[in-house]
Amino acid sequence: MDLADDVAYSVHDVEDAVVGGHLDPRLLASAGSVDRVAALTAAWYLPNVARDEVAEALDRLRALPAWLGEFDRSHRLLAALKDMTSSLIGRFTGSVERATRAAFGPGALVRYGADVVVPRETLVEIGTLKGVAAVFVMTAAERQPLYVEQREMLTKLAHALLALAPAQLEPAFAAAWAAAPDDAACVRVVVDQVASLTDISAVAWHRRLYR
């Protein structure tokens, strides 16, 4: 599940950054951008990754046939961006499947029959894409006020749900609350409830509880 999240977020965050105008793919060819991506990749995601590993990962990704070298919001390049997204997901999941099969054989791999094997190159490529999103979206100065506002809203929502639980929780989370052994577990249930919400539903819940 963690791997699936990493693949999905790394790829789609970069896609969203391109569509939103926060990332010009041509910038990833510059040494300065590579340095920034490497620094955040190491600081946020892969503490043992070296700058050269990130540079090599970016080189491999940028050399892919489906990689988008530029973007002008045309229909042709919007379609190409979707192709890149699909190609990257296939690249990462295919690499993991091949490595896992090589380690555990061709049989049915269910429940505890195997561990997921993530090759180092794939791990670094995924982390590098997350670093790209971190540089061009999450740490962009112009977006910081929005993040502060969102963080304050989510904190208020969590406090409201904690005070009103389990009545305001969705059924699955209300059941988890009822089964929680202590206060810390109850807080975790509320955090999980908030984390399960989309941006739109989080805003709607906040408005409903603070109207």
- The DSSP secondary structure of 131-158, one letter per residue, reads HHHIIIIIT-GGGHHHHHHHHHHHHHHH
pLDDT in tens, the chain (211 residues): 899 999 999 999 999 999 989 999 999 999 999 999 999 999 999 999 999 999 999 999 999 999 999 999 999 999 999 999 999 999 999 999 999 999 999 998 888 889 999 999 999 999 999 999 999 987 755 555 766 788 899 999 999 999 999 999 999 999 999 999 999 999 999 999 999 998 889 999 999 988 7
- For residues 10 and 154, what is the distance between their CA atoms, to the nearest angstrom? 23
Please state the domain extents for the chain.
Answer: 2-139, 144-209
- For residues 97 and 77, what is the distance between their CA atoms, to the nearest angstrom? 30
- First-to-last alpha carbon distance for the chain, in angstroms, is 36
User: What is the model's pLDDT at position 112?
Assistant: 84
This prediction has a pTM of 0.73
User: What is the model's pLDDT at position 97?
Assistant: 96
User: What is the model's pLDDT at position 137?
Assistant: 86
CA atoms within 13 A on the CB side of 173: 21
SS3 198: coil
User: What is the model's pLDDT at position 149?
Assistant: 83
